[in-house]
Amino acid sequence: MICDDNSVTGLISSTYPHIDHHQDDQYYLDHTILSGKNSDVEDINSEVLQKCPGEEKILQSADSVISDDGNPNGLALYPMEYLNSLGASSLPLAKLALKIGVPVMLLRNLDTTKGLCNGTRMIVTHISIRVLRCRIISGDGKFAGSIVLIPRINMDVSEDLPIPLCRRQFPV
């Protein structure tokens, strides 16, 4: 693929032509932008989401500090805004923006027997406060097309962060 423009907008336009129309599953399997930096991924995802039709929904995480004995505490020491600003490659965003019809990628192994593995690509078909309904589009033919429910889960991270953090969010 040739991108005539050195901007993120040019890259997106070259990779996802006509993304403002709902596309079939194969379209999203055939078109992917890879980046080695989370900050670039966030910028690209945000711009792609703005180009997709539909109502954007913001899903806020529930963040807490984990003490040495595994119990959440320390909220008085750390403002919620600070906890929400923390990020690591294995964590979803504290404020996750989604639309129905957009592609997402699973960040955790949830149920390998149902094809819900780290890296599984899906299309969001329904958004609620506690669960996402998605259609699997990647993997072998056994799981492609399957409708799955993705719950919010607790994800604990201590490495790569200044404090041990527990984030409850959709793992996409």
Residue 9 near residue 47, CB atoms below 8 Å: yes
Q: What is the mean pLDDT of the chain?
A: 86
CA gap 146, 32 in Å, rounded? 21
For residue 98, count CB atoms less than 10 angstroms from its CB and return exposed for 0-12, middle for 13-18, buried for 19 or more: buried
Q: Model's pTM, two decimal places?
A: 0.85
C-alpha torsion 96→100→102→103, nearest 10: 80
Q: C-alpha angle with apex 121: 125 to 147, nearest 5 degrees?
A: 40
Mean pLDDT within 146-162: 89
pLDDT in tens, 80-124: 898 898 888 778 899 999 999 999 999 999 999 999 999 999 999
Please give the backbone phi and psi of residue 108, each rounded to the nearest 5 degrees, phi first: -140, 155
pLDDT at 4: 61
* Residue 95: DSSP 8-state: E
pLDDT in tens, 50-87: 888 899 999 999 998 887 665 555 556 788 898 898 88
* Residue 74: DSSP 8-state: -
CA gap 23, 40 in Å, rounded? 24
Q: Residue 103: what residue type?
A: P
